[in-house]
Structures are given as C-alpha cells and as structure tokens.
Amino acid sequence: MAGSIVIPCPHCDTLNRLPAERRGEGGKCGQCGKPLFAGHPLPLSRARFDRHAGAADLPLLVDFWAEWCGPCRAMAPVFEAAAAQLEPRLRLGKVDTEAEPELAARFQVRAIPTLILFTGGQELARHSGALPGQELYRWVQRHLSG
C-alpha cells in the first residue's frame, strides 16, 4: 500500500485523507459529502490558498490573473479545460490579483497571467504569460515528473 494523501475539499475546504492508490476514483468529502475533485479551477482567497497549497499532498497549479487583463481572459478557457483533464493528479486554482493583492505580493507576482506550481506549500515552478493548452500540459508534465 502506497499510503494516504491529504486532499482539501474544493467545496468546504475540509481536509480529507484518501488512500493514494484510490486517488483516481475521486472520493467524497467526509464533511459535506461532495466530490473531492470538481474538474474546475478553484477561486482562491488567502484563507483557501493556504488550505489548498500548504495542507495538502496534492500539487496545486495557481493562475494569478485579473479581469482587465486580455491575456488572462484568453487563457481562462484553457485553464478551465486543463482542470478537467489534470485532476486528480493536481488541483488548479485561480487568484484574482485585484481581490487578493496580498497573495500577489507574497509570491512577488509582477506580471499576469502568472502560473505557479506548488507542492507541499512550496513553489516548484513559475511561468509568466499565457500558455496554449498543449504547452500548459507539457509545462506541468515537465515539472511534476522531474
């Protein structure tokens, strides 16, 4: 047995323990009963960010964006599609830099969109600028398998 992993619920943020070998089966939250994988990026506030990035065994890919940003709007459907394809291997989240300037400052986001891949609460990789779908998948694959 490979052990278990901790996954925050995308609905109520409760931490759930799931056998690692059963991650692909999804699972349900022990608190709210909803699926642990929603297939959509999570909107992340400061409190939710810390819960999903720091308390989870699941890698987290975060899109730091703003509504007024043209490249951010162009990348939004690519990021949405990626969430459906990349879960349950990792979770995708979005941080609106206008609503959460403290998070943008904390991670020294200087340009948007900026993608940051976190594992165990630590930054693993960063990319500034929009990425088309296949490039996004390759970028994630390169950093998670290396």
Q: Is 12 a catalytic residue?
A: no
| Residue 72 bears catalytic tag | yes
At 82, the amino acid letter reads A
To the nearest 10°, report the CA torsion of 96, 118, 78, 86.
-140
**Chain length of the chain:** 146
Report yes or no: 108 and 91 within 8 Å, Cβ to Cβ. no
Q: Contact, 53 vs 118, CB < 8 A?
A: yes
Contact assessment for residue 58 and residue 44, using Cβ atoms and an 8 Å cutoff: no
Q: Of 9, 12, 29, 69, which residue is the catalytic one?
A: 69
Q: How far apart are alpha carbons 124 and 122 in whole angstroms? A: 6
The beta strands (E) that lie in 41-99 are given as 42-43, 60-65, 91-96
Phi (first) and psi of residue 77, to 5 degrees: -70, -30
Q: Which residues are catalytic?
A: 69, 72
